[in-house]
Structure 1
């Protein structure tokens, strides 16, 4: 029965069942195995008379290949590396390279800058109030700045 002319339909039904399982329990894994089953159905349609063992081996190879395509080709493109993710809980490091205005002059290496709606301690060369500074490093809760 499985090697008959309609065997490709059985593979497509298997593919639909696997894809339906993917819809119920998302995770991309069953989808790609379902794609392997659909490809096996296409192979059986193109080459009628394949034995059950040949069809099973083809399914295994095609399912593995489709999963590899997902893992190495599609998955890396789906992952988004948004800037700042690696410094998510280190807010000070997110400020490096940004420019701010001094609200308290830097005297003897210490002052304050307006950062958003807050104030941060800064260290750097002596500069007057209102100077624009650029953050070059973070030491604890103190921003190391230079004149911008």
Structure 2
């Protein structure tokens, strides 16, 4: 086995080390740099006479290329938000646009509405109990409403 043929194993070992670092400290970049090292190992296997400088240049280009492929190709696909997720874990904001019945009249701008099996404080124009209101905004635990 000549030395130039065994060099591809070194690139694969570097790739495995980089991917192992990624497993221990996730962040995606070591994975993609490791992929660049693995592809460099394949390149050296296919072209065994490649000089060390050419291998280093190929590694840098492939590492940058694979990181760019992640950043511009894979990452945006992974970060697609499902409709409605922008309000996930912000229950008050999920209520905007919904209609509820007042269980306490709004007097001097304050009242209560039934939301599901609970009650929320509401703020809006004076209305009698039993009126239907629509939530237009949320301030903390206070729902801003308008008559329907």
Q: TM-score scaled by structure 1?
A: 0.77
Q: What pairs with 1:1-148 in structure 2 (closer than 5 Å)? A: 4-79=4-79, 81=81, 82-84=85-87, 88=90, 92-106=92-106, 111-116=111-116, 117-124=118-125, 126=127, 128-138=128-138, 141=142, 143-147=144-148
The size of the alignment, in residue pairs, is 143
Structure 1: unaligned runs, 5 residues or longer: none
Structure 2: unaligned runs, 5 residues or longer: none
Q: Is the 1:125–1:146 contact (alpha carbons within 8 Å) kept by the matching residues of 2? A: no
Aligned-CA RMSD value: 2.9
Alignment deviations for residues 17-68 of structure 1 (CA, whole Å, 9 cap, x no partner): 1111222222222111100000111111222211110000000010111111
Alignment deviations for residues 52-95 of structure 1 (CA, whole Å, 9 cap, x no partner): 1000000001011111112222223333643216x94xx65443
- Evaluate the alpha carbon distance shift between residue 74 and residue 129 of structure 1 in structure 2; reply closer, same or farther with a 3 A threshold: same
